[in-house]
Amino acid sequence: MEPVSSLFDYLLFAVMLYGFNSWHNQSLFQTGWFVESLVSQIMIVHILRTDKIPFIQSMASIPVLMMTSLVMVLGIWLPYSPFSGALGLSALPQTYWPILFAMMLGYIVLAQAVKTWYTHQSKLI
C-alpha cells in the first residue's frame, strides 16, 4: 500500500504548494500534510482489516470505530486548538476540506482496488 500512500502524498504536496501557495509557509504545508497523513493512515486500518469492502460489507468493532474516529477528530481539531502554536500547526483554509475529502475518497477506492487485486493474485499462487 505504500505506493498508493506515496501517490496521495505527492498529490497533496502539489495541492499545498500550488493550490494554497504554501511555498513560504512551512506551517501551513506541514499542517496539511499532517492531517492528510493521519486521516489516510486511519483509513488504511479500516481497508486492510478485512477482505471485504470496509464500511459497506464489513464494519469494524465499536471500539475500533470509536478510537479511529477519536484520533481523526483530534487530529483535525489540533490546528485550531490552543496547542497549535506550540505544535507548529496552522489553521487550514476552508477550501482544504473538500479537497481532502475528495482525495480520501480516491485513496480509499484505489487502496481497496489494490488490496482486491493483490488478494486475488495471492490466491492464484
Domains contained in the chain, number: 1
- Those residues whose C-beta lies under 8 Å from the C-beta of residue 8, and which sit 6 or more positions away, are 36, 40, 103, 106, 107
* pTM for this prediction: 0.88
- Per-residue pLDDT, averaged over 54-77, amounts to 94
* % pLDDT > 90, the chain: 78
State how far the Cα of 33 lies from the Cα of 82, in Å rounded to an integer. Answer: 20
pLDDT value at residue 79: 97
Amino acid identity at 109: V
What nine digits make up the cell of 64? Answer: 475500533
Mean pLDDT over 31-58 rounds to 92
Q: Which domain holds residue 117?
A: 2-124
103 with 11: CB under 8 angstroms? yes
- 59: its cell numbers: 464494519
Q: Is the confidence at residue 19, as pLDDT, over 70?
A: yes
What are 111's three cell numbers?
Answer: 487502496
Place of cell 483554509: 93
